């Protein structure tokens, strides 16, 4: 990983991890996100912004008991031109379409997480999957970095 800056950007990557929604697991998600975007080939300044964006999408869930999510699933993949991040917030009873949007719209001290997501990513889609096992989700996309 030391020479990720000199590597060509990844054209295909897939990462799928689920962790309990406990604060002690937040550093694991942070490190996985950091390593993945580093390997993809983003410049350091963009890499930090992307990792912080992913953190903003999950951090509030770890800070509150209000939604009672039990697990967080982070899926990160690349296509030919984009990085796709899908975060599933698992285990909470259905509270309607806007539950995750309401949580991410709550100020967290130095801003509003949802505003940060929208500034840093090309697209931001929030919602709830249909069906009995449906979960709240957040989908983020960003263009892949240009080649070296």
Amino acid 132: pLDDT: 77
**Sign of the C-alpha dihedral computed for residues 102, 106, 108 and 114 taken in this order:** positive
Instruction: List, for residues 46-55, the tens digit of each pLDDT value.
Output: 889 999 999 9
- Its domain, for residue 80, covers 4-143
Gap between the Cα atoms of 81 and 10, Å rounded: 10
Gap between the Cα atoms of 29 and 20, Å rounded: 11
Answer whether residue 90 shows pLDDT above 80: yes
Residue 45 inside a domain? The answer is yes
Residue 16 inside a domain? The answer is yes
Residue 22 inside a domain? The answer is yes
| Summary mean pLDDT of the chain | 84
User: How many domains is the chain built from?
Assistant: 1
Q: Rounded to the nearest 5°, which phi and psi values hold at 58?
A: -115, -25
Burial class (CB in 10 A: 0-12, 13-18, 19+), 148: exposed
CATH number at residue 117: 3.30.565.10
Instruction: List, for residues 104-118, the tens digit of each pLDDT value.
Output: 998 887 889 999 999
Answer whether residue 64 shows pLDDT above 70: no
Gap between the Cα atoms of 105 and 35, Å rounded: 27
Residue 12 inside a domain? The answer is yes
Q: Rounded to the nearest 5°, which phi and psi values hold at 144?
A: -70, 155
pTM: 0.84
Burial class (CB in 10 A: 0-12, 13-18, 19+), 114: buried
Residue 148 inside a domain? The answer is no
């Amino acid at each position: 990983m030391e020479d990720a800056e000199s590597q060509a950007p990844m054209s295909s990557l897939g990462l799928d991890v689920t962790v309990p929604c406990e604060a002690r697991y937040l550093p694991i998600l942070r490190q996985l996100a950091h390593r993945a975007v580093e390997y993809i080939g983003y410049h350091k300044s963009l890499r930090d912004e992307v990792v912080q964006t992913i953190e903003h999408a999950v951090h509030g869930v770890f800070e509150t008991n209000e939604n009672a999510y039990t697990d967080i699933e982070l899926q990160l993949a690349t296509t030919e031109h984009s990085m796709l991040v899908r975060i599933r917030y698992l285990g909470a009873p259905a509270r309607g379409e806007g539950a995750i949007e309401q949580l991410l719209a709550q100020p967290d001290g130095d801003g509003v997480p949802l505003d940060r997501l929208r500034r840093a990513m090309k697209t931001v889609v929030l919602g709830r999957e249909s069906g009995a096992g449906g979960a709240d989700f957040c989908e983020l996309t960003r263009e892949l970095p240009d080649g070296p």
